[in-house]
Amino acid sequence: MSNTSVLDLPASLPAEKPFTPLVRQFLDYLHLEKHFSDYTVKSYGADLLQFAQFIAGEIGSRNRAGFNAAAAADATPKAPMTPAAVDELQVKCEPLTIREFLAYLYAQNYTKSTTARKLATLRSFYKFLIRRGLVSVNPLSTIRTPKQEKRLPKCLDLEQVQKLLEAPGDADLLSARDKAMLEVLYSSGIRVSELVELETADLDLQEGVLRVKGKGRKDRLTPIGSQAIKALQRYFELRQTGGGQPMTGRVFLNKHGESLSTRSVRRKLDKYLVAAGLDPGISPHTLRHSFATHLLNNGADLRSVQELLGHQSLSTTQIYTHLTTSRMKEVYDAAHPRASSSTIPHPASNNNPARPFYPAKAG
Catalytic residue list: 191, 215, 285, 288, 311, 320
- Three-state DSSP at 300 gives coil
> Which residues lie closer than 8 Å to 247 by C-beta, 6 or more apart?
200, 236, 239, 240
pLDDT tens per residue, range 273-292: 999 999 888 888 889 888 88
Average pLDDT over residues 260-280: 92
> Which residues lie closer than 8 Å to 121 by C-beta, 6 or more apart?
43, 44, 47, 48, 51
| Per-residue pLDDT band at 215 (split at 50, 70, 90) | confident
130-139: long-range contacts (C-beta < 8 A, 24 or more apart)? 132/25, 134/22, 134/91, 135/91, 139/93, 139/94, 139/95, 139/97, 139/98
- Yes or no: say if 196 and 262 are a contact pair by the CB < 8 Å rule: yes
Give the alpha-carbon dihedral of 204, 209, 211, 214, to 10 degrees. Answer: 160
Distance CA 90, CA 135 (A): 9
Q: Which residue(s) pair with 203 in the sheet?
A: 210
pLDDT tens per residue, range 27-74: 999 999 888 878 889 999 999 999 999 999 888 864 444 444 444 445
Edge to edge, the sheet with strand 209-213 lists 203-204, 209-213, 219-223
The structure's pTM equals: 0.61
Report the chain's C-alpha Rg in angstroms. Answer: 27
Domains in the chain (CATH in brackets) are 6-131 (no CATH), 158-286 (1.10.443.10)
pLDDT tens per residue, range 301-314: 878 888 888 777 77
Average pLDDT over residues 262-281: 92
